[in-house]
Amino acid sequence: MNIKKISNNVINIALGIIIVISIIAAVSLLKDQLFSISRTTLLILDICLIILTFIFIFKETFIKFLKRIYKICKNRKALLLILVSLLLMIWQVYLILTISGFCYWDPGIIMTKAMNKIPWSGMRYFSFYPNTFGMLMLEHGLWLTLGKPGIRSFTLILNLINVVVLDSSLYILFRVSKKYFNQRIASYALVTSVLLFGISPWICIPYTDVLSFAITIWTIWILLIIHNQKRVSILYSLLTGFLIFLGYMIKPSLMISTIAFFIISVVFVKPSKLVVNRIINIIVMVTIFILMISGLNFAKFHNRFLDLNRNDEFSLYHFAAMGINGMGGYNQGDVDADAALTNANSRKDYDQKIWRDRYRKMGFLGYESFLIRKQTFNSAEGSLGWGKEGNFLTVFRYKKGKYGKAFSRKLFLNKSGIAEKYNGSYGIIIQLTWIVTLTFILFSFSSSSFSVQLIKYSVVGFFTFLLLFEGGELGILSNFYH
C-alpha cells in the first residue's frame, strides 16, 4: 500500500472539486464584466488583440526577438531584478500616496483604538473579537514609538510597512519555489502574485491581509527547511513556533498550513531516526507556541490599555452559524442577536441551535448545494471583493491636493473617493489572471511530493475553513495567495 499515493489521490479529489467550482465562478463573472464593457476598455482590448495577432503572424521573428532579449537579460539578471523591483515599488508608493484613506470596518476600528481613541463600533467590539488584540497592540506600540502621529500619517506609515513586508515575501516566494520546484514555476508564482496582489490596492489597507500573506510564505519556507534536514534543528523549530504564534495572533486560520505539515509528516514517514528528529522538532514548535499563546492570553485580560470581558467573546459556533446563512458571509442580524446575550454559555447554546435549525431546514443535499454557492461567492473575483462593502475605504483629501485627479483613483475609487470594484480593462486582465491561476492548480495533480502535497492540503484546508465558518470574498485574500 503506497500511502503517499493514496494521500495524493484523496487530496486531489477534494482540491479538484473546489478548484473546478472556482473556475466556473470566475469565468461566469468574466462574462458579466464583458457584458458591461465600456468603449475605452474595448479600445484597449482591441489594441491588445491586434498586438497578439501580429505576434502570431510573425511568430518566428517574435521568438528570435525574445531569445535575444533573454540573452541580454541573462547576463544582467541583477540589474534587471533591481529595475523591475524599483518599478514595482514606485507603483506601490504611488498607490499609497494617492488612495490611502480611512477603512470604515475592522482596519479602521483597530487603528482608531491603537491611537487611543474610541472607535465608532464602541469598546465592546474588542470583547466580541479578542483575536484582534495582537494586531491592536502591534499598531499601538508602533504608534507610541513613532511619537503619536495623526491618522493620515500613521496610515501612510503602516502602508509603507505593508510594501516592505509584501515585497520581501514575494522575493522569498520566488526563492522557495525555485528551490523546491523549478525556475518555471517560480517565475509563474512571482508574476501571478505580483499581478494579483503586488500591484493591487490591497497594500493600502493597514490590516492583516499583507501580514497573513507574508507569514504563510515564511512559515511554509521554514517548514520545508525542517523537512529536508536530516538532523534536529532547534533554531528552525523555535522560529517556526514563533511564526505559528504570530500567525495565530494575526489570524487563527493561518495555522492551517502548519496542521497540513503535521498531516503530511505522518504520510511521509521515514526511517526511525528521522522520525525521532521530526517528533523533537514538532515538540519544540508546539512548546514555544503554547508558551507564547499563554502569555498573550494572560496579557489580553491583564493590561491597562484594553478592558476585555470574557463573557462577550464570540465563539466558533457564532462564526459557524453565520457561515450557514445567506451566502455564508458577515451577517449583522447574527451579530446583534449574540451581542444581546451577556452569558457565554447561553450564547454558545443559542449559536448551536441556530446552526442546527438552519441545517435541518436545508437538509443534506440542500446544505451541499449551499456550499457550492458559497464557494462560488468566495472565489469568483480576482480582485477578492475590493470595494464591495460600502464605505470599505474612503480616501484622504479626495478633491484636494495634487493627487485629486490621479490615475489610480480612476482605477480603484468612485467619484466620491470611496473604493469600488476594479474598473474596465484592468479588472478584466486581473480576472483573466485569476482564471489562469486557478486552472494551473489542476496541473499539480500528477505530483505527490512532500512540498506539493503540503500546498494542496493547505489550499483545501483554507477553503474548507471558509466554507464551514464565516466566509466572503475578503476572507479569501490572505488565505489563498501563499
**pLDDT tens track for 69-120:** 767 666 666 677 788 889 999 999 999 999 998 888 889 999 999 999 999 8
Query: Domain span at residue 115?
Result: 86-201+390-420
Structural domain includes residue 34: no
Structural domain includes residue 132: yes
pLDDT per residue, tens digit, the chain (482 aa), is 578 888 999 999 999 999 999 999 999 888 777 776 767 667 777 787 888 887 778 777 777 777 777 676 666 666 777 888 899 999 999 999 999 988 888 899 999 999 999 998 889 999 999 989 999 999 999 999 999 999 999 999 999 999 999 999 999 999 999 888 888 888 888 889 998 889 999 999 988 889 989 999 999 999 898 888 877 778 888 999 999 999 898 888 888 988 999 888 888 876 665 677 778 888 899 999 999 999 998 999 888 899 898 888 898 899 999 999 888 888 888 898 998 888 888 899 999 999 999 999 999 999 999 999 999 988 888 887 787 766 778 888 766 555 667 788 888 888 778 888 787 778 888 888 899 999 989 988 888 889 999 999 999 999 999 999 887 654 444 444 44
- Classify 113 as helix, strand or coil: helix
Structural domain includes residue 173: yes
Structural domain includes residue 444: no
This prediction's pTM? 0.86
- Classify 395 as helix, strand or coil: strand
Structural domain includes residue 376: no
**pLDDT tens track for 24-58:** 999 988 877 777 676 766 777 778 788 888 777 87
Q: Where are the alpha helices (DSSP H) in 75-207?
A: 77-99, 106-114, 124-128, 133-145, 151-180, 183-193
Would you say 250 and 292 are in contact if contact means Cβ atoms under 8 Å apart? Answer: no
Structural domain includes residue 196: yes
Q: Distance between CA atoms of 369 and 364, rounded to whole angstroms? A: 9
Residue 352 one-letter amino acid: Q
Structural domain includes residue 151: yes
Domain count, the chain: 1
Using CB atoms within 10 Å of the CB of residue 423, give its burial: 0 to 12 exposed, 13 to 18 middle, 19+ buried. middle
Structural domain includes residue 150: yes
